[in-house]
Amino acid sequence: MYRFIRNFSIIAIIFGMLGLFFTGCELLEGVGDVDDEYGFGWFGSEDLDNIENDISFGSGSIPTEYSLLNNFPPIGNQGSYGTCVAWATGYNHRSYINALEKGYTTSDMNDANKVFSPKYLFWAIPSGQKGSGCGGTGFESAYEVMLDKGIATQSETPYTDLGDCSGSTSSWDSEAANHKMQSYREINLDKETLKEYLASNRAISFGAKLGDAFMSWSSSDVLYDDTDTYNGQHAYHAMILSGYDDNVGNGAFRVVNSWGTNWGDNGYIWVDQDFFVNNFAFCAFVGTSGTDPDEDGDDQVDDPTDGIDLVGWELDDLDNGGDVNRIAKYNVFNSGTIDILASERWNIIYLAYNAFDANDFEILLYDYYSDEYGSLGENGDLNEDGDGVENWWNNVNVSSGASVAEAVYGDENGRFSWPYEMPTSLNGEYYLVLIADGYDVLSEANEDNNYFFLTDSNGEPITIINGVIQDELASSTKSGTPQRLFEDSPMPTTVSNNNLNAYTSGEILTMIKHRKETGEIARKAAMHSSKGQHSKKKN
């Protein structure tokens, strides 16, 4: 994997030793029937800088209380094993997402065919990413398994006969592949953010450190504070949020644990919201499942499209005199069967977004196609359009089977070549992406091939420091004239077998549309207006 789990060898040894103290290896007869010493099992070592942040929009006003428990499975019991991460992410989180999508109710969730197996998930995690025996693991490891292999149901792989948690999952992998996740995202640990996600029906898994009061909790009261020495039995632990109520105490989150119904408030606990975000929780995640636009993994969009179909076809970003001076070379094709008229008023956007936080982005170029300026066939400098974006306008119709550059220049071998300056504010790991129809104003049957993503030469994010690209970039421009009709976009996504959790094209488009509505796109684009203009380039 591109973002492999770091430093696990040392951590595995440490937690393997702790596992001898915290966990036993007696066999479980079923979920919820073991009352031995509580198991823990979160390593507490996530590399949060290299986990993709959720693209956050905010939801405005939220209710004073909200509960997701109608779609949760029954309280489970991990026993004395260090499998809490598998319970939080697999049994609770993945089962909840599935129930929400399928419309399952509380009674449905008593069916072992409708909930997912923490045993399968823990066993499927590579041995180098978990402690010896059943000695714990991390959130990244668990979610990456569900992205790559999926997760089997409880009926297929019941939580029994765990042994040393090192068995093969091969007999269950086929069924697990039917239940893959699409992505997981880190979210901020502040009260309003957590409540916004919960009120949007997004369950939240999280990692916490436990004090003495939590360990012995047996009440429906609110946990307001706890010891903070975190030694001995004080452990890193993974759990999940199922709701909140601002009227409980001073406002509390409802936490779902995996220690059976004899602990806490029948397996749950109310945790004060301020204590939760300031002292109790240390990281939090949301997840999604759904259809990957490239399910077969060949980086191709296979079905021809009747009507309009813009395809991001070519993209290169080259040095243009050193430092931040760059030149973008690109083209887009209308591979559909209908001409795209200038009156549609659509655009091409070229942007950079942070590989691990797409909320950090910059518009590099804005290429506008409209009948609002000049006469048909003309193009020129766009000093300011309706959004305040200073780049380029083109009053052209793009014929079926023709490239956009051909429409502008009247040459089927034409390509766009556009000098610009990379913003010096960019620092970190980024992807560059060309988006045809960046505001999604055209009605297309296939939206997934509007994109062309540019990576470094190894297919990984591009390191940019103060606007200066540090890596060799992948080269994409093709020689000659490509096949026009129904040709696939060469790089429609950065999601791949080596980078399963990358942002999808749909997420990027959703971000762009939302930022346009708020005016943020216009402000960013106006800050970094083009230093040049289109020029025709023949291959």
Torsion angle, alpha carbons of 31, 244, 202, 435, to 10: -150
Residues 279 and 321 in one domain: no
Percent of the chain with pLDDT over 90: 67
Predicted pLDDT of residue 269 = 98
Q: How many CB atoms lie within 10 A of CB 122?
A: 30
Predicted pLDDT of residue 5 = 37
Which residue type occupies 272? D
Tens-level pLDDT at each residue, the chain (539 residues): 444 333 333 333 333 333 333 332 222 233 433 344 788 999 988 899 999 999 988 767 899 999 999 999 999 999 999 999 999 999 999 999 999 999 999 999 999 999 999 999 999 999 999 998 998 999 999 999 999 999 999 999 999 999 999 899 999 999 999 999 999 999 999 999 999 999 999 999 999 999 989 999 999 999 999 987 555 445 799 999 999 999 999 999 999 999 999 999 999 999 999 999 999 999 999 999 864 433 444 433 344 445 888 999 889 999 999 899 999 999 999 988 899 999 999 999 999 999 999 999 999 999 999 999 999 999 988 765 445 455 889 999 999 989 999 999 998 888 899 999 999 999 999 999 999 999 999 988 778 889 999 999 999 999 999 999 999 999 776 544 555 566 678 888 999 888 899 999 989 999 999 988 888 887 777 665 544 455 545 44
- Rounded Cα distance between 520 and 252, Å, is 34
Predicted pLDDT of residue 229 = 56
Residues 265 and 408 in one domain: no
Q: Select from 92, 373, 29 the least CA-distant residue to 243.
A: 92
Q: How buried is 298 (Cβ within 10 angstroms: 0-12 exposed, 13-18 middle, 19+ buried)?
A: exposed
Residues 474 and 418 in one domain: yes
Residue 532 belongs to some domain of the structure: no
Predicted pLDDT of residue 478 = 54
Residues 269 and 316 in one domain: no
Predicted pLDDT of residue 447 = 81
pTM of structure: 0.85
Q: Which of 236, 258, 288 is the last residue of a domain?
A: 288
Residues 270 and 361 in one domain: no
Predicted pLDDT of residue 61 = 81
Predicted pLDDT of residue 301 = 37
Residues 335 and 213 in one domain: no
Residue 533 belongs to some domain of the structure: no
Predicted pLDDT of residue 60 = 72
Tell me the two tokens of residue 280: 């109790």
Number of domains present in the structure of the chain: 2
Residue 163 belongs to some domain of the structure: yes
Tell me the average pLDDT of the chain: 85
Residue 94 belongs to some domain of the structure: yes
Residue 1 belongs to some domain of the structure: no
How far does Cα 101 stand from its chain's mean position? 18
Residues 371 and 462 in one domain: yes
Q: Which of 288, 322, 350 is the last residue of a domain?
A: 288
Q: Which residues pair with 237 in a beta bridge?
A: 208
Q: Which of 288, 320, 338 is the last residue of a domain?
A: 288
Q: Which residues pair with 135 in a beta bridge?
A: 82
Residues 256 and 371 in one domain: no
Residues 321 and 279 in one domain: no
Which residue type occupies 176? A
Predicted pLDDT of residue 524 = 75
Predicted pLDDT of residue 389 = 52
Residue 535 belongs to some domain of the structure: no
CATH number for the domain that contains residue 193 = 3.90.70.10
Residue 296 belongs to some domain of the structure: no
Predicted pLDDT of residue 517 = 87
> Cα–Cα distances in Å, from 497 out to 179, 295, 296, 425, 502?
17, 11, 11, 31, 10
Residues 251 and 344 in one domain: no
Residues 276 and 148 in one domain: yes
Reduce the DSSP state of residue 500 to 3 states and report it: coil
Residue 108 belongs to some domain of the structure: yes
Range of the domain at 206: 8-288
Residues 84 and 141 in one domain: yes
